[in-house]
Amino acid sequence: MLIKKSNDIPSSEITPKSVYLNRRRFITGAVALGASALAVRELSGLLPPPPVVYAGVKLPGLVKSPLSTSETQTPFKDVTNYNNYFEFSTDKYEPAHLAVNFRTRPWTVKVEGEVLKPKVYDVDQLMKMAALEERIYRHRCVEGWSIVVPWAGFPLSVLINQVQPTSKAKYVQFLTALDSNQMPGLRYGGLDWPYSEGLRLDEAMNPLALLCFGLYGEALPNQNGAPVRVILPWKYGFKSGKSIVKIRFVEHQPPTAWSTATPSEYGFYSNVNPEVDHPRWSQATERRLGEYMKRKTLMFNGYGDQVAHLYTGMDLRKNY
């Protein structure tokens, strides 16, 4: 008996799995994009949806800032390949690879707590709240290395004024994205997730405090905290939270990640201070990436003129 197998599909016609999956992702993406575009359109009063800005997209027309330093900038390659981003890895070179596919759109930042106008901002909308400035800042890591980076953003105070903190708002808390599917570093419980950082309200209102969307004239690379982060140049790097999803105005000092993990080593303030050593190593000097000799660390990372007044009368040995 002859059994015809005429219904077989030749293997050449089978869609490869990757293509099939890509198509699915494309459709889901398109639907999500459409939906979010629709939502944004509704919110922003039928304006055309803002263009989507991914890592690496050029940010044209950055305004120069008098707060910028003229020091030699750390090469882009070093700034974007030597990162502490523990949600991805505790190795500094790993986040650049592991964060490549981190999804930064659609992205919202929820502003809540002691404010008159709490709001959920779409990040592309948030970016347009004020003209983006280029701020070339020194950035000092608590581990004893430093970089000089041209960031792009606007003062955090712009957003704060927009949401109008109540009289009860004494502190601002920043919470980082938490997605164990995309962030392999979360499997190792080195810190309490989500990563939480905080400032006193007057610190957050300081003109130096930057809500940051880019570096080197382009949108933030994922490993540097895309799509939005804060930059606080007078504090150790870990205070400048990355990939922020929530900004909360609160009455009491919020718990912060490193200080919760090791209270004796990291305090709430964590201002750069060459006179107060980390219990395990000196903070008197630092190595600027790319330099052979170590250099002296400056009080408040050299931003004393702008921020020293915030701490008058405080014992910085106790409030480290």
Partner 1 sequence: MNFDRYVRWIKPFVFLLCLAPMGRLGWKAWNHVLGANPIQEITFSTGTWTLVFLCITLSVTPLRQILHQPWLIRFRRMFGLFAFFHACLHFTTYLWLDKFFDVHEIVKDVYKRPFITAGFTAFVALIPLACTSTKGMIRRLGGKRWQMLHRLVYVSATAGVVHYYWLVKSDVRVPVRYGVIVALLLGYRLLKTLLSRWGGTPDVEREARPSAAL
**Footprint on this chain of partner 1 (rule: CB under 8 A):** 77-78, 81-82, 86, 90, 92-93, 143, 145, 188, 190-191, 261-262, 280-282, 287, 289-290, 292-294
Closest CA to 235 of 172, 146, 133: 146
Residue found under tokens 């929530």? 246
Q: Which is nearer to partner 1, 190 or 207 (CB)?
A: 190
C-beta of residue 246 within 8 angstroms of C-beta of residue 172: no
C-beta of residue 295 within 8 angstroms of C-beta of residue 286: yes
Q: Which is nearer to partner 1, 166 or 285 (CB)?
A: 285
CB of 287 to partner 1, least distance (A): 7
Q: How many Cβ atoms from other residues are within 10 Å of residue 264's Cβ?
A: 10
Q: Which is nearer to partner 1, 112 or 265 (CB)?
A: 265
CB of 82 to partner 1, least distance (A): 4
Q: Which is nearer to partner 1, 78 or 112 (CB)?
A: 78
Task: Tell me how far apart the alpha carbons of residues 123 and 11 are, in angstroms, rounded to a whole number.
Answer: 45
Q: Which is nearer to partner 1, 92 or 119 (CB)?
A: 92
Those residues whose C-beta lies under 8 Å from the C-beta of residue 316, and which sit 6 or more positions away, are: 269, 271, 273, 275, 276
CB of 216 to partner 1, least distance (A): 15
CB of 304 to partner 1, least distance (A): 25
Task: Tell me how far apart the alpha carbons of residues 235 and 191 are, in angstroms, rounded to a whole number.
Answer: 20
The amino acid at residue 47 is L
Q: Which is nearer to partner 1, 15 or 292 (CB)?
A: 292
Closest CA to 202 of 88, 307, 282: 307
Closest CA to 276 of 307, 315, 305, 308: 315
Task: List the structure tokens of 255.
Answer: 């718990």
Residue found under tokens 């250099």? 295
